[in-house]
Amino acid sequence: MNPICKLFNIKYPIIQAGMVWCSGWKLASAVSNAGGLGIIGAGSMYPEVLREHIQKCKRATDKPFGVNIPLLYPNIQEIINVVLEEDIKIVFSSAGNPATWTKILKEKGIRVVHVIANTKFALKAEEAGVDAIVAEGFEAGGHNGREETTTLCLIPMIKAAVTIPVIAAGGIGSGKSMLAAFALGADAVQVGSAFAVAEESSAHPSFKNKIISSAEGDTKLAMKKLVPVRLLKNEFADAIARAEEEGADRTELTELLGRARAKLGMFEGDMENGELEIGQVSAMLDRIKPAKEILKEIWQEYLSGLKSFRDLYDETI
């Protein structure tokens, strides 16, 4: 049995990424009901909002689902308390040191997965005791690794470095890319951008439409002096690019970023002044559709591609 399916008791080794302003209870429950692993993204939620989403997700599905927790979250203790009080069994952590919370979570019987973007932090996550890691390549949307290592290079390096299961992320939005990730050694895939445009995604309709109308080259990694983030091009992204070209320091970039910029764009629908986080795979997305359909299309294309390769291999021996 696939190690990730066994670890989480899910049907398909397909995990929906915990994305700020996109992955609330509706998306998480839809993905879990379809046989994948839905994830509620706590990064954009106050503790009591997270509690509400967890409770609604429990009513919407009897399948496993998890919560993504950015460990640098200012109210991290309150978020952890909500997760423990609501008896969550799966936590995906990111953006911080997993050694701080992994032991505490695992003592409560929680499966812990940490997101990394290089070998150094993969080894630290394994040492901290996590059950699996998400290895996220440079193609991914949102906050990204400073090394800018692509998924094609990252997955085999991480797989060779650790003994725990590896979930591939970054540029994966189809069955073909899932098949490629498995060929590189991944045990499962994490899909973000493709689920951001799901009907059940909490992203603003204007953001979804901008994603599916985007073309190759319409995303760019920005704000490397702060925390690198991949953005769709708009007036805000252009302003950031100009500031960086003119040598803006961290303070100037922080002032330009301001407060709630991601909420303004991704959740409230300001397509010019908002921060629009999405991956390179956005150029391959062309339709808003149910999460169940997205998952099934990825899985069926993966199986079809696997059969094609096996048929080709049989013909060559």
pLDDT at 62 over 90: yes
Q: Give the Cβ contact number of residue 235 at 10 Å.
A: 12
Amino acid occupying residue 23? S
pLDDT at 310 over 90: no
pLDDT at 315: 61
Q: Which two tokens stand for residue 238?
A: 């252009």
pLDDT at 312 over 80: no
Tell which residue, 136, 155, 190, has the closest CA to residue 4: 190
Rounded-to-integer distance, Cα 296 and Cα 201, Å: 17
Which residue, chain included where needed, has tokens 């203790």? 77
pLDDT at 313: 72
Which pLDDT tens digit goes with each residue over 118-144?
999 999 999 999 999 999 999 999 988
Which pLDDT tens digit goes with each residue over 163-185?
999 999 999 999 999 999 999 99
**Terminal-residue alpha carbon distance, the chain:** 28
Q: Are 31 and 195 in contact (CB under 8 A)?
A: yes
Return the axis-axis angle of helices 47-60 and 25-33, rounded to nearest 10°. Answer: 30
Q: Which two tokens stand for residue 20?
A: 């700020």
Largest CA distance in the chain: 62
Beta strand 229-232 pairing with 142-143: antiparallel
Distance of CA 317 to the CA centre of its chain: 39
Beta bridge partners of residue 97, listed in sequence order: none
pLDDT at 222: 92
Collapsed DSSP state (helix, strand, coil) of residue 49: helix
Which pLDDT tens digit goes with each residue over 261-308?
999 999 999 999 999 999 999 999 999 999 999 999 999 999 999 998
Q: Which two tokens stand for residue 277?
A: 């986080």
Which pLDDT tens digit goes with each residue over 237-246?
999 999 999 9
Q: Which two tokens stand for residue 65?
A: 């689902």
Angle at 12 between CA 284 and CA 79, to 5 degrees: 85
Confidence bin at 103 (pLDDT 50/70/90): very high
Q: Give the phi and the psi of residue 286 in degrees, each rounded to 5.
A: -135, 5
Nearest 10 degrees: CA dihedral of 77, 81, 83, 89? 100
Q: Are 98 and 124 in contact (CB under 8 A)?
A: yes
pLDDT at 317: 53
Rounded-to-integer distance, Cα 51 and Cα 24, Å: 11
Rounded-to-integer distance, Cα 95 and Cα 165, Å: 20
Percent of the chain at pLDDT > 70 equals 99
